[in-house]
Structure 1
Amino acid sequence: MKLSNKILYALLLVFTISGCTKLDEEQFGRLSPANYYKTEQEALSSVLGIYQALQQVAHIGDPWRISEYGTDEFIVPGRASGGWFDQNNIDMMVHNVRPDNQAIGRAWKQIFQVIGTANAVIESLNSSPSAGNFKAVAAEAKALRAYGYFYAMDLWGNVPIATQARIDPANLPATNSRAEVFRFVEQELIAAAADLPSVTTVNRATYYPRLTREAIFTALATLYLNAEVYTGTAKWTEANAMCDNVIRTNAYTLEANTVDNFKATNEANSKEIIFAFSIDPSRTSGSNQFILYAQPALDQQRYGLPFAPANGYSTYQEALDRYETIDNRKKLIEYGPQTYLDGRPLVDARGVQLNLVAVKDYVSAQDNEGYRVLKYVPDGVKWAGSSADNDLVLTRYADILLTKAEALFRIGNTGDALTLVNQIRARSKASTLGTITIQEIENERAREFIWEGHRRRDMIRFGSFFNKTWTFKTTVDPVWKGIYPIPTEQLASNPKLKQNPNY
């Protein structure tokens, strides 16, 4: 079900009006701890604003896009027919990012809006006369803030840690090291897990989509999986332990088909989704615009859409080639001659069948260049203009299984790692592997999680971000390109920040 609590929808309007993006400004207007946070519902309504800010970071917003640009699964070429050309995007695609890149600058602001909003809410909750009753809600807010810092650390490495609602302009925060931010995120998530309810103790239909203890364990598993990149010290055993914390609940299992996670019915009844964002554009509660941005215009005819998609997001030949023909996941990539669902050729007004080919020119591509990923399918969607109501998925049980597989492989347990990878492959009717390699684990993650925001992080961890080439990315790179430069405008506004090396 969608997040339907009436008080949350009503108060959404308050946050839309009074929210802001600066850390040193009041976040929630005249609603003070003394006269407002008296009940759990009132406290929870403030946390809704953090969820909404994080949604923009994790999906569709600039932070999601810059986590996909520069990988071998995501390209947005300029079109010869006009539109989509953006030098900022092209620079990321070819690993030539400068501090004045506008997309990087927007992403920084969006991530720190999550952090700033969370700081204001946490301070208000802690100051409330009823603070003792809000322990779980405060843990929820701190976990969401930790998510914000995780993305900041992942993308920029060295960022300032600020936990106060208002920043003193005379005492701006200095840069913290990536290892320090890692420890902060780790400690905040561990503390939150102790205070949040387990999925086994709540009514999933009514509690969804809020964070559970298992959602925090999943975030910690991802944190530990990448610990060697972030801190120089591997934490494979810790990653495996966090996965086991989720697995032993017996609360999750794989859906029958991967695509089931991304349908309009992918909500509280899902057996696989661990953390998602509730989307209902008809009630101004979020927006899912994957189909708008990613599909070719003729998909309006194919799927009976109320709008023509904008023909933007595309994927590479390298991504398509990772799938076997028998792999059901390959069916969600549109490539080659296109047909209606009944098999008839999908043709334009001239009677010419749409034939999607690999991108040949990322500056001036033809409209049929670029394979498309139908990530969120239109089945059963209730449209509000061009916005779908598919809930946006952040983490799911497949990630737990593949994270555990990788952690086990890296500590020498290849047998169990192989079993887990084959469990994922069996769901999609892919062939059964007889042996497992670290390259195959990377490839399986790429196949399973295409466009879910994992690929850049995975490629950096496996090394392929630097030592491999693909279409338009034709040279190997030094490892310092694994983090983005601190945006120019942030350096100008806070002289205590330090630019990342070599930028």
Structure 2
Amino acid sequence: MKLRYIKSILLSLSFCLALGLTACIGDLDVDPIDPSVTQEFDQEAVFAKIYATMALTGQKGPDGNGDVDGIDEGTSAFYRLIFTINEYPTDEVICSWGDPGIPELNYINWSSSHEMLTGLYARLNFDVTLCNHFLEMTDGKTDDNTVRQRAEARFMRALNFYYLMDIYGNVPFTEKVTSDLPDQILRADLFNYIEKELLEIESDMYDARQAPFGRADKVASWLLLSRMYLNAEVYTGTARWSDAAAYAKKVMDSSYQLNANYAHLFMGDNDGSSVNQSPQEIILPIRQDGLNIRSWGGSLFLIAATHTEGMTLWGTTEGWGGVRARAALAKKFFQDGNVPTGDEKEVAKAANDDRALFFSKERTVEIANVNTFKEGLSIAKFTNIRADGNASSDPKYTDMDIPFFRLAEAYLTYAEAVLRSGGDTGSALGAINALRTRAHASQLASISLDNILDEKSREFYAEGHRRTDLIRYGYFTGAGYLWDWKGGSAQGTSVSSIYNLCPIPASDMNANEKLVQNPGY
């Protein structure tokens, strides 16, 4: 796998991205990037590709001429890999499939040759280099459109660097497209770089809710800053709780609003319809479209991987039956583990919490055999069914946009940061209870840090956050918090702290003598 350079660049698109971009659809004419070769630069197409890398895996949809070599193309999707690496090793979900790399993620037992960790590393570096290329080629242009696009490209580069920092720590770093081997940047220095980039671009980003749905605005940059500050002690050794609270509050005070219906956030018309107002909460979606934006690694993956025959209709002919809830997640809603038999509406009603979207018919809460999908509650949170009752655009491929950044995160960040910094516990409690009110759950009279961690799971389970949260709390490794199948034991067992960081892939270590491997690998 070629990890430091993008494999190719899109010079014309084969699909029309529903992102408010002017670039439209034509046949592909793809050439490799070679800094020594002069080639025509299509600004709108490359800008569209920067966003498209979040949704698509290559130059065709749903597969064909993939961006990343050395891994199954469907698996190489940006969000699918983020989800896989941030969810499978945690107390939220487990996967029954025996594909290479999945058991190691389920049990927190991977190495530097792990295929999916290598694939995500490649995907993130691909995306960074694509942004670098766009920024190099538009340097010096001052028209309003380019200034805004450059700010968004810097945001997207910062986002990809954020995941490299979060997952791998000290990583290769460059702002240029070059054949030279990149130097390695320290995690704390990368944090400072990302922070500086996000602060600098703010004035050039769209104001809140003014961007075409699917493009980043300044609130997206605030939310990413608040997330970074919340985890700053992990990344840099210095806590930034007050900054986390301040930027979360900026997001909360923006024109975004909590959507009244939690389930609508994960339905086929969550880009907005006569009855689905989810765009008022979704700050940055990963756009999906059953006709024009097809991928095996976006919302089709989320929906198909969590559904199989016998469940409530989910709006696609695909049902792969692999990802389901660990017992620890079920017990966040049913503390005694006694979950009534029913579909997702019946289970949510019994939980007195609209977020408990689990299908429990012919299911067990406890998992004795990881390879048996019906052991563990089925997650019915994601669906291609539309809230307005209309048909989806395609029977197989999905329209449900992935709500990648949404307002509710700011409420949880604010509550935790305020509590950790010794601030007003009443305002922290109010933020948590606002989410519980939306979910028709009972109000809490008081909160603790562990309450907030549990609430984060109830609100964001299976959305790709959990690994980072558990690491921040000191619970991901060690024996301080055990959950079913942690470390490969049915009851859970301690795992080494080396797994708080993932390894630099062996293939990149072999290719770049400047790199130093993370401890323990």
Name the residue aligned to 2:439: 428
1:73-102 Cα deviation digits (max 9, x unpaired): 12112xxxxxx2135211122221111111
Measured in 2, the distance between the counterparts of 1:392 and 1:426 equals 23
* Structure 2: gaps spanning 5 or more residues: 1-15, 57-75, 335-349, 487-491
Name the residue aligned to 1:116: 129
Name the residue aligned to 1:73: 92
* Structure 1: gaps spanning 5 or more residues: 37-42, 78-83, 338-353
Out of 155, 158, 167, which is 2:170 matched to? 158
Distance 1:19 1:103, change over 3 A: farther
Name the residue aligned to 2:8: none
Measured in 2, the distance between the counterparts of 1:411 and 1:139 equals 32
**Root-mean-square deviation over aligned CA pairs:** 2.6
Out of 199, 209, 213, which is 2:208 matched to? 199
Out of 221, 225, 235, which is 2:230 matched to? 225
Tell me the SS of whatever aligns to 1:283: coil
Out of 144, 157, 163, which is 2:156 matched to? 144
**2:236 corresponds to which letter in structure 1?**
T
Residue 370, structure 1, aligned to residue 376, structure 2: yes
Name the residue aligned to 1:453: 464
Measured in 1, the distance between the counterparts of 2:198 and 2:225 equals 7
Tell me the SS of whatever aligns to 2:467: helix
Shift in Å, 1:5: 4.9
**2:245 corresponds to which letter in structure 1?**
N
Name the residue aligned to 1:348: none
Measured in 1, the distance between the counterparts of 2:184 and 2:228 equals 20
Residue 313, structure 1, aligned to residue 294, structure 2: no
Structure 2 matches for 1:156-305, cutoff 5 A?
156-168=168-180, 172-199=181-208, 202=210, 207-249=212-254, 251-267=255-271, 269=277, 270-284=279-293, 287-289=298-300, 290-299=302-311, 302-303=312-313, 305=315
1:52-88 Cα deviation digits (max 9, x unpaired): 22346886422331121210112112xxxxxx21352
Measured in 2, the distance between the counterparts of 1:6 and 1:132 equals 15
Tell me the SS of whatever aligns to 1:75: strand
Shift in Å, 1:329: 3.6
Name the residue aligned to 2:369: 361
Measured in 2, the distance between the counterparts of 1:2 and 1:304 equals 24
> Contact 1:266–1:390 at 8 Å: present in 2 too?
yes
Name the residue aligned to 1:393: 403
1:270-301 Cα deviation digits (max 9, x unpaired): 221111122113013655212212112333xx
> Contact 1:239–1:407 at 8 Å: present in 2 too?
yes
Tell me the SS of whatever aligns to 2:323: coil
Measured in 2, the distance between the counterparts of 1:241 and 1:400 equals 10
Shift in Å, 1:428: 0.9
Distance 1:491 1:59, change over 3 A: closer
Shift in Å, 1:127: 5.6
**2:107 corresponds to which letter in structure 1?**
V
Distance 1:131 1:392, change over 3 A: same
Out of 499, 503, 506, which is 1:488 matched to? 506
Distance 1:28 1:427, change over 3 A: farther
Which is worse superposed, 84-93 or 454-463?
A: 84-93
> Contact 1:279–1:392 at 8 Å: present in 2 too?
yes
> Contact 1:281–1:387 at 8 Å: present in 2 too?
yes
1:237-272 Cα deviation digits (max 9, x unpaired): 1111112222333x1111112112112221265221
Shift in Å, 1:25: 4.2
Give the TM-score of the pair, scaled to structure 1: 0.84
Shift in Å, 1:7: 3.8
> Contact 2:83–2:462 at 8 Å: present in 1 too?
no
Query: Size of the alignment, in residue pairs?
Result: 452
Distance 1:408 1:490, change over 3 A: same
**1:404 corresponds to which letter in structure 2?**
Y
Measured in 2, the distance between the counterparts of 1:308 and 1:191 equals 44
Tell me the SS of whatever aligns to 1:160: strand
**2:374 corresponds to which letter in structure 1?**
N
Measured in 2, the distance between the counterparts of 1:265 and 1:149 equals 31
Distance 1:132 1:391, change over 3 A: closer
**1:164 corresponds to which letter in structure 2?**
K
> Contact 1:328–1:430 at 8 Å: present in 2 too?
yes
Percentage of identical aligned residues: 27
Which is worse superposed, 268-277 or 142-151?
A: 268-277
> Contact 1:69–1:75 at 8 Å: present in 2 too?
yes
Measured in 2, the distance between the counterparts of 1:208 and 1:6 equals 10
Measured in 2, the distance between the counterparts of 1:19 and 1:220 equals 35
Measured in 1, the distance between the counterparts of 2:233 and 2:352 equals 32
**1:322 corresponds to which letter in structure 2?**
K
1:446-478 Cα deviation digits (max 9, x unpaired): 110011111000010111212211111122234
Measured in 1, the distance between the counterparts of 2:436 and 2:122 equals 38
Out of 63, 73, 90, which is 2:82 matched to? 63
More helix by share: 1
Measured in 1, the distance between the counterparts of 2:407 and 2:112 equals 37
Give the TM-score of the pair, scaled to structure 2: 0.81
Measured in 2, the distance between the counterparts of 1:469 and 1:45 equals 48
> Contact 1:47–1:121 at 8 Å: present in 2 too?
yes
Measured in 2, the distance between the counterparts of 1:150 and 1:70 equals 20
Shift in Å, 1:485: 0.9
Which is worse superposed, 88-97 or 368-377?
A: 368-377
**1:114 corresponds to which letter in structure 2?**
D
> Contact 1:297–1:310 at 8 Å: present in 2 too?
no
